[in-house]
Amino acid sequence: MLTLDKLFKHHKNRRVAIALALLGTVTPIAGLHKLYLGQPVWGIIYLLLWATPIPRIASAIDAVWYVVQDLEQFERQFNGSSKYSLDTSPPVGAIAESMRELDRLREDGLVTEYEFEQKRRQLLDYIA
């Protein structure tokens, strides 16, 4: 018997999520990507708003986000895994270099202060 727990525990593929999000931009059936990714509340909200342009715009934004998001972050967010196992941690030097690069992007005006702070916290969470 298929339970909701089993339904949402499957391995989520980024390409499938992108395809479903793009499908939602051109059809009135937006939100399938949210259901696929284990976010049923958002999927239902998208489906309920089918008559408005909101779910299509949101689906387009989601598709772009899934494309630009790195695979490790997608895996961690939707599959609960990462290339770093629980007993190992990433090299602190790599995180420090990433933070320096992030600071350069902020100084150059390529990321906002808010985006900088979010990413900085994510990087620090790797160490903790």
Span of 18-22, 62-66, 68-72 with lowest mean pLDDT: 68-72
Q: Residues 41-68: what's their mean pLDDT?
A: 90
Residue 23, pLDDT score: 92
Give the HSE-up count for residue 16: Cα atoms under 13 Å, Cβ half-sphere.
10
Q: Are 69 and 41 in contact (CB under 8 A)?
A: no
Q: For residue 128, with 0-12 CB atoms within 10 Å meaning exposed, 13-18 middle and 19 or more buried, which class applies? A: exposed
Q: How confident is the model at residue 6 (pLDDT cuts 50, 70, 90)?
A: low
Q: Are 38 and 80 in contact (CB under 8 A)?
A: no
